[in-house]
Structure 1
């Protein structure tokens, strides 16, 4: 809908709190991802799959239940249900917290689903070193895993290893490197199938 102001990895400071909200107060540093609200009563909402709710309300380019249009993270103000708002710790810069609200949860969720949070020392492969790949490497290393980055860009090897802490780097267009990495790929197929 025009005009649209995009943005879904949102951080800010609370300027108003609803009368039924208990865990937030004026001045709190907070973040909101892509979702601003959902019905919280359907089977999807009750099973932590709110993104499938028929009544989902996005933070941008949507119409909220009261008829107002949601204008996203670059707008002057955002309204969200308190269940979709998270506290940002004081020691975490707001600009560093913002990517965790989409890219972060996108890589955190499968790591959690594959039990990579509780048992360190596993081999994790990250395909691509873009926005999600960067976050995935940092998280996998933080959870104590051995990380291999698989990329089409040889120029990203130094960044993957030196800056982000990846243990290994494979160039997917290099047949010899991929042959060496074949056992790693078989490991992933077993885990994810």
Structure 2
């Protein structure tokens, strides 16, 4: 193995990524060194590029890696070995001492870097996956099933984990057979639709873009939503009521940061319905207080699924044949990835193939 690797860097906010050569990161005693085979690009990466999440530059972007382990630290936790196929979640290296770590330690046997105040966030504030190699935390690394390609595996580390985590938030209040809608059928939403169907919900796909509506329609028959709605249609609200026997939706997951779309989505819930918004708008949410109080509606925050939850997600994914609609680019195309992502024809998930 060479001492250097190819990588892409964010050098200045709102400017294209630069392709560079950098030393391969040194595998510490507690680390896994992973050869990145595929890495995704999502809306959060665009927000990082635009400076919405402050980060010290230069930085290697992307937080959706899939690859194979090439070195295991001498004190790395878990039964990892060289050659294992893995996916890597972006939060890592919990300090085990801060308030977030102490709170989680009272509820679970393993640390949860999602809530560590000193956690590293690969691709957000620390080096990520647009490189031939990266370091992984064994606690937030997951086994990638042999039937899942690296290209399919990469989006599952954020888009999949985000959609899955949101649907898990419905568990206590929404039961199989209840009506659940996914709003915004893009990279996260079309995975959410498939997960919701596999979990036994009656599913509704909602979007106002032709690409999103078509993505829902193109899903395999056993994963296709029970109802597809254009939210701009004059009878959209009526269609939801007809579908739910005038009761309204039991749950709704909103995969867009549009304040208007989220406000509208809350109104589609029936009594004691649950909404999980996943977007991060620059401005604040605006929800109708009367609806929340008099119909006892619940709005739940959802960050992203934990490593254990993602392992369960992958089992369901394999069982039901769930997959992403992919656009795959080569490593040398990374400087143009934002232009491709923002193109009106873009649908599904955008992935960079980094190694075979």
The answer on 1:180 being equivalent to 2:239 is yes
The 2-side partners of 1:60 and 1:158 are apart by: 30
2:273 matched residue in structure 1: 190
Q: Could you tell me whether the CA contact under 8 Å between 1:37 and 1:58 is conserved in 2?
A: no
Runs of 5+ in structure 2 lacking a partner? 1-55, 105-110, 242-247, 250-267, 276-297, 299-356
The 1-side partners of 2:82 and 2:167 are apart by: 34
Cα deviation code 1:79-121 (max 9, x no counterpart): 12210111111111111111111111111112112118x9422
Q: Could you tell me whether the CA contact under 8 Å between 1:125 and 1:148 is conserved in 2?
A: yes
Q: Give the TM-score taking structure 1 as reference length.
A: 0.84
Q: Could you tell me whether the CA contact under 8 Å between 2:206 and 2:213 is conserved in 1?
A: no
The 2-side partners of 1:155 and 1:19 are apart by: 48
Cα deviation code 1:144-188 (max 9, x no counterpart): 221101111255434313425111011111121222224332338
- CA change 1:15–1:154 in 2 (3 A) is closer
SS in 2 for 1:60: coil
* Mapping for residues 84-163 of structure 1, pairs under 5 Å: 84-115=140-171, 119-154=175-210, 156-163=212-219
Higher relative contact order (CA 8 A, sep 6+): 2
Q: Give the TM-score taking structure 2 as reference length.
A: 0.48
The answer on 1:81 being equivalent to 2:137 is yes
Residue 189 of structure 1: how far off its partner (Å): 6.0
- Hey, which of these two has a bigger chunk of helix by percent? 1
Q: Could you tell me whether the CA contact under 8 Å between 2:208 and 2:230 is conserved in 1?
A: yes
The 2-side partners of 1:188 and 1:89 are apart by: 40
Count of aligned pairs between the two proteins: 185
Cα deviation code 1:20-58 (max 9, x no counterpart): 223100111111121132213334235276334221112
* Mapping for residues 160-175 of structure 1, pairs under 5 Å: 160-163=216-219, 165-175=224-234
SS in 1 for 2:117: coil
The 2-side partners of 1:189 and 1:17 are apart by: 48
2:66 matched residue in structure 1: 11
Structure 1 vs Structure 2 CA RMSD: 2.4
The answer on 1:31 being equivalent to 2:94 is no
Q: Could you tell me whether the CA contact under 8 Å between 1:171 and 1:178 is conserved in 2?
A: no
1:67 matched residue in structure 2: none
Runs of 5+ in structure 1 lacking a partner? 63-69
- CA change 1:26–1:112 in 2 (3 A) is same
SS in 2 for 1:39: coil
The 1-side partners of 2:226 and 2:236 are apart by: 15
Which stretches of structure 1, 4 residues or longer, exceed 4 Å deviation after superposition? Answer: none
Residue 123 of structure 1: how far off its partner (Å): 1.1
- CA change 1:188–1:27 in 2 (3 A) is farther
Q: Could you tell me whether the CA contact under 8 Å between 2:69 and 2:82 is conserved in 1?
A: yes
